[in-house]
Structure 1
Amino acid sequence: MLDTPKTAQKSHADSKILQNVEDGVGIVVFNNPEKRNAMSLEMWEGLGNALTELRDDPAVRVVVLTGGGDKAFVSGADISQFEKTRHNAEASAEYSRRSEAQRALLANYPKPTIACIRGFCLGGGMQVAMLTDIRFAAENSQFGIPAARLGIAYGYDGLRHLVSLVGPSWARLIMYTGMRIDAAEALRIGLVDRVLPDGELWSATMDIARTIAGNAPLAIAAAKITIREVLKDPDQRDMAAIKAIGNACMDSEDFKEGRTAFMEKRKPQFKGK
């Protein structure tokens, strides 16, 4: 039997984006199972609303994104909207503009993010997954970017993330062919970080999320900021931001709590300040 997230506390985009908080973990569910969680513009905007609320909730330390049902994480963009929203270059530019803010929000998210992937993760779903910090996948997962089969360009940001994960040669193979990749292959080439049996995926993801939520938020922020800067070209790195978050850690109450808890042989209680 598949394990799944609990009932949502809040919904967006006509209940196609669900939002919940559990043990310091924010949960976002793509809830359009009839279309294998294909993303409409309304869902992109609902995703942005959910991410913003979880970002601003001090009780949330980490965010998990997953798909409703057992068939897909996100199977791509809702192609039924294309005749109206992406039928030519001008319309496509407007579509990209309306979804760009949500992609940028996820790309620059200040809290750790995890994609919990079961079933299809295609096209725009790959873009969402690649924007997260960590990707866990079920054994039944399938990955691919069918842009070449639809006659559309995937875009710079999506390809930049793809190349950073799997390298240029695999990125070319994926993009030129539109091929599907199973979970084992995705793990081998670095597209995902861990593959688990379908029935264990959610509990394993939440175990990691709770572990992250229990660690010092400033120290995690320092790691996230520094890794982000490492991936930039040397002349574009914000070394001042790295130094600032490092100083904030060393001057924080959490650093004192971490030292004290270690000496007292107890679990630390971090507050993020």
Structure 2
Amino acid sequence: MSDAELTVGTAGPVATIVISNPGRRNAMTAAMWRRLPVLLDRLEADERIRALVLTGAAGTFCAGADLGDLDELLDAGDASIAVAAEDRLAAFARPTVAAISGACVGGGCQLAVACDLRLAAADARFGVPPARLGLVYPAPTTRRLTRLVGPSAAKHLLFTAELIGAERALRIGLVDEVLPPDGLAARVDAVTATIAERSRLSVTAAKEIVDGRADEERIAWWHGQVRASGEAREGVAAANERRPPRFGWTPPATG
């Protein structure tokens, strides 16, 4: 029986998915790629969850796809289970944070880029290795990387397949913050706790708009939710009274 797995834990309103594949630096197997969307569906259905952390076990984020499943990935091309898992992660309805230590390479970088925020330990290393392996990086993945770091930095990563350190990743916009290794967990906890305290209406609308998934009709709907929900009135009242706001908006049920 394989000991490669994805595990889920929750602490209050924050859920954490941990990538674990001992002996292969947490490389993602076919079973793990298939399992990720299932876990994301389950967590998204839980109204208590306000933020999601994706991380790796034992000081390593993820060294990529387990190449023992290479034939399956090659045959599928852009319709691979890896791309499906990446797309599902990118579409997750709540904010997602990648907490990155050690290797974040190939499929691991693919998952990290699909998250909303990336916080990295100073010992993190990033790489996109298809040119070293004779593969073509999936088009959706390549486009998502390019939107994040820009064409020149994306080409450098893709053309050279070189590993880069956390500080360079920060300079090109691949990560948002670099922390001492012993400070990463505390900073991730602080960021997700802050997100969980904010207006869910504001955060959810912002994610849709930034990701380009809200058309004019949807944006108008969001403004209507602000008027109908009283979130803005509560936020302003809380600021004036110097107290924490008591936000209560939840997405309307769809039938």
What TM-score do the two structures reach when normalised by structure 2?
0.91
Q: 1:78 matched to which residue of 2? A: 66
Q: How many residues align?
A: 249
CA distance in 2, matches of 1:182, 1:129: 15
Unaligned runs of 5+ in 1: 1-12
Query: Per the alignment, do residues 38 and 15 of structure 1 end up closer, same or farther by CA in structure 2, a change over 3 Å counting?
Result: closer
2:76 corresponds to which letter in structure 1? S
Give the 5 Å matches for 1:54-203. 54-70=43-59, 72-82=60-70, 84-86=71-73, 89=74, 91-93=75-77, 96-203=79-186
Query: Per the alignment, do residues 15 and 269 of structure 1 end up closer, same or farther by CA in structure 2, a change over 3 Å counting?
Result: farther
Q: 2:23 matched to which residue of 1? A: 34
Deviations 1:204-245 (A, max 9, x none): 01100000001110010111111112xx8xxxx612112211
What TM-score do the two structures reach when normalised by structure 1?
0.85
Shift of the alpha carbon at 1:69? 0.6
2:69 corresponds to which letter in structure 1? Q
The reply on whether 1:217 has 2:200 as its aligned counterpart is yes
CA distance in 1, matches of 2:163, 2:235: 45
**8 A Cα contact 1:18 1:30, kept in partner:** yes
Q: 2:253 matched to which residue of 1? A: none
CA distance in 1, matches of 2:81, 2:104: 22
Q: Percent identity?
A: 36
The reply on whether 1:243 has 2:220 as its aligned counterpart is yes
CA distance in 2, matches of 1:39, 1:54: 20
CA distance in 2, matches of 1:264, 1:170: 46
**8 A Cα contact 1:123 1:146, kept in partner:** yes
CA distance in 1, matches of 2:3, 2:123: 28
Deviations 1:153-184 (A, max 9, x none): 10111111111122111111111111000001
Deviations 1:108-154 (A, max 9, x none): 11111110000000011111111111000000000001101111110
SS of equivalent residue, structure 1 residue 250: helix
Instruction: State the Cα RMSD in Å.
Output: 1.9
Q: 1:44 matched to which residue of 2? A: 33
Larger CA deviation: 13-22 vs 136-145: 13-22
Shift of the alpha carbon at 1:191? 0.6
Query: Per the alignment, do residues 166 and 101 of structure 1 end up closer, same or farther by CA in structure 2, a change over 3 Å counting?
Result: closer
**8 A Cα contact 1:138 1:196, kept in partner:** yes
**8 A Cα contact 1:23 1:210, kept in partner:** no
Shift of the alpha carbon at 1:26? 1.1
Unaligned runs of 5+ in 2: 251-255
